[in-house]
Structure 1
Amino acid sequence: MSEIAGDWMSRQLKEHIAVAEAGEELMPALHRIGAMLCSAFAAGHILYTFGNGGSAADAQHFTGEIIGHYSRDRRPLGAVTLSTDPTTLTCIANDYSYDEVFARQVRGLARPGDVVAGFTTSGMSPNIVLALEAARAAGATTVLFGGGDGGAAREHADHCLLSPSTSTPRIQEFHTFMLHVLSEIVDSWADGTPEDVIAP
């Protein structure tokens, strides 16, 4: 391995560690959002997630952990990722616009009490911003997984989980950590052992 490559990888790792350390300030917010998700699932509500590109993968990851399970054997919970249906996505994009691909689904599906989570590294993607706005109008609780200052999407988020970085890789890496923490909180609640994770 060349010295240049070694230096570059070391720098990437140091940046990752710095974001993880700075992210400790988000622990109270993760606790609150985890408790909110548990209350929503207890009442029979649904989690809807969405994002573009790598953020779409993060949204699907979160849904998989919720409707499947994270680390414990427990009942499935209601979760849907809005980027996984190519027929619906291309229909809306073709007949309306790409900016509407998530907002139109949210208007058709989300109900008061549901939770709608958008993943965006920039916070500026119009389809994410419009979908969070539509979710609020529908009476759903909105969660933003973002980075930096949250961009325009922050205006429509009831809860913000902003990775302490403006670098796309670092933002997405911490998104994975946060969705894993939330998944464990939900798992511990659903299998009847919240005391393992959620402080009384």
Structure 2
Amino acid sequence: MHDPEGSEYDRLFYPFLFEGGKASIEDVLAQVRHSTLEKCREVIALRRATLEQSGRQIVAAGQAMAQAFAKGATLLAFGNGGSTTDAQDLVAELINPPFPGWSSLPAIALTNDIAVVTAVGNDVGFDNVYARQVIAFGRPGDIAFGISTSGNSTNVIVAFEQAKKQGLLTVGLAGYDGGKTMRSSAVDFCILSPS
């Protein structure tokens, strides 16, 4: 039921609607439609920019990953903050493909075991939370897939360095200018998504 005085949420996210003290449901819905359309435009523009900037890297990384999977590779995914959930979603899509007839691919999100993450973080340091798991799980020919919005996440870079030492294919997904991930010799492919 619509509250003509506006909920706390409405007042927080649409304050301009309450300059006169009340908002009509029509005004709120119009603003929601407008902001949804603007967000869709932003997403489309970002995807276009990513394809223009990193299209060749995406194809090359995809081909290298397909070859690795064909040889029995497991993908190890990791990231920080929101990138943690992106890594988990990538693994979910590989294990449970969204399209009928697609085969599951072996993948592990190194972000999932909070006991391991906190034990390594406490005992060895947060910079090593993924590298220690790469040591434990990574085999030559496997895939290390790290995600960092800034491209500068130290624990992601350290994991790439360890993965490279162990003979894993390394693929990074980074925002902005790619940061250290883009410049690291430990990263075979860096897909840049200018966010």
Instruction: Give the structure-1-normalised TM-score.
Output: 0.74
- One-letter code of the match for 1:162? L
Select 1:37's aligned residue among 62, 65, 74.
65
Q: SS in structure 2 opposite 1:116?
A: strand
- Other structure's SS at 1:62 match: helix
| Mapped partners of 1:24, 1:52: distance in 2 | 24
Q: Which has the higher contact order (CA 8 A, sep 6+)?
A: 1
Work out the number of aligned pairs and report it. 165
- In structure 2, distance between residues paired with 1:72 and 1:38: 19
1:100-179 matches, within 5 Å, as: 100-154=128-182, 155=184, 156-165=186-195
Please list every run of 5 or more consecutive structure 2 residues that lacks an aligned counterpart in the other structure: 1-26
| 1:36 alignment partner, SS class | helix
For residues 19-41 of structure 1, the C-alpha deviation after alignment (integer angstroms, 9 at most, x for no partner) is 22222223332222222121111
Equivalent residues in 2 for 1:1-200, closer than 5 Å: 1=27, 12-25=39-52, 26-154=54-182, 155=184, 156-165=186-195
Name the CA distance, whole Å, in 2 between partners of 1:4 and 1:43: 51
Deviation at 1:75, TM superposition (A): 3.6
Pairwise CA distance, 1:11: 5.2
Instruction: Say which SS state the counterpart of residue 27 (structure 1) adopts.
Output: helix
Following superposition, the deviation at residue 5 of structure 1 comes to: 7.7
State the superposition RMSD in angstroms: 2.1
Distance 1:73 1:6, change over 3 A: closer
Task: Choose 4-13 or 147-156, whichever is displaced more.
Answer: 4-13
User: Deviation digits for residues 79-118 of structure 1, max 9, x if unmatched?
Assistant: 0000000111111111111111001111222121111000
Which protein has the bigger helix share? Answer: 1
**Residues 141, 18 of structure 1: alpha-carbon distance in 2 compared, 3 angstrom cutoff:** same
**TM-score using structure 2 length:** 0.76
CA distance in 2, matches of 1:40, 1:6: 44
Amino acid at match of 1:18: A
- Distance in 2 (CA, whole Å) between partners of 1:142 and 1:123 is 14
- Structure 2 CA distance for partners of 1:72 and 1:31, relative to 1, 3 Å: farther
Percent of aligned positions that are identical: 37
